[in-house]
Amino acid sequence: MRPPGRHHPNISRPARQRSHMPNGTVPFNFKNYFENDAYIYYGYVGPIITVFVIIMNVLLIATIIKGKFRTSTHAVMVAIAITDILTGIIPVPFNIRFFGVDHVVNFLLIDWCYIFEICQIILPRVFHLISLNLTVALSIERFFVVSFPLKVKQFCTMRNGTLFSIAVIVISVCAQIDTFLDVSYEPVKIISRDRKFTLTGCRRLIKTRSNEEFIARMFILRFIPCILLIVFTILLLRKSSDIQKWRKQSTVSSNAAASLERMDFAVSLIASIACVTEIVTASLLLNEHFSSEYRITTENALLSGIIYVVYMTVSPINLAILCFLSERFRQSFIGLILFCRR
């Protein structure tokens, strides 16, 4: 059932009914988001899940800080948590207002068109791919820890992990800088039939890309990171298994060696889940591109909403994995919860 009262917040319902666009130009609107109830994912489900994501990732960061985890592995995990928070929270204010409260089916004013593009599409995509690349960095970093255990204390520090994360973020942003140029908006005059007022809507202009160019871009930004995740996850698990005997001889107790092995497995599990999620969703987006070519259709509006919710649902799993596999992390997390209850 469609909720009542959908209207543009800057136009009264009678005025909207009497308005028209010259030369038959149709301004950008949210009709496709409401025709198949895609707005539910953006205006209701997404914000609720985002609140949960923020809480879980804040707890992850707080546990790492309170537990005094000072390795490069934990520095990269903090960076992943921060980018996951930003991926979810940036579109929330826009989504709540336009999809959850106002139910805006009609056109947007020109200023809101740019805000929509930046908050709803560009920045969440950029931060999501940064998170993916940081997960690759996490796998590479952990493989280095396992492969060169005698150099861990010298190189795998919190400071170096932070610098490594910053470098990955900068490279990721530079690789996506043309994303900000893919779409532009052209002002469209919207005139009431009685000509008592004129408003400025927008027309969405999309940069033309060949299918070959789009596939190459998808392969570089999404599938290559997935391939790297697969390769380094396999190498990490094999190296971790090979080094266990040395760890048991070099560490104070067998529990310490087991803890290191569980951390290796935790990183491998985090990487595997991120890889599977990305491959599935990237394949769906690639298939959808050939039918829509960047245009917002009824089908890809729904698909994007579902993917948005899936990404947000998978995001907090890092905390659960660490709590389940790392006894020290679990104790620090419980201590944090008990401290917060006081």
Distance in angstroms (rounded) separating the CA atoms of residues 142 and 144 = 5
The string of pLDDT tens digits covering residues 324-342 is 777 778 788 788 777 766 6
Distance in angstroms (rounded) separating the CA atoms of residues 174 and 204 = 24
Instruction: Provide the b/e sequence for 4-23 (b: ≥16 CB within 10 Å).
Output: eeebbeebeeebbeebeeee
Q: Report pLDDT for 257.
A: 74
pLDDT tens digits for the chain (342 residues)? 333 333 443 433 333 434 445 445 567 888 888 888 888 888 898 899 999 989 989 988 988 888 878 888 889 999 999 999 999 899 999 999 888 888 877 778 888 888 888 998 899 999 999 999 999 999 999 999 888 888 878 888 889 999 999 999 999 999 998 888 888 888 888 776 666 667 778 888 887 777 788 888 889 999 999 999 999 999 999 988 888 777 777 765 667 777 788 888 888 999 999 999 899 888 877 777 776 655 677 777 787 888 888 888 887 787 778 777 777 787 887 887 777 666
Distance in angstroms (rounded) separating the CA atoms of residues 108 and 200 = 9
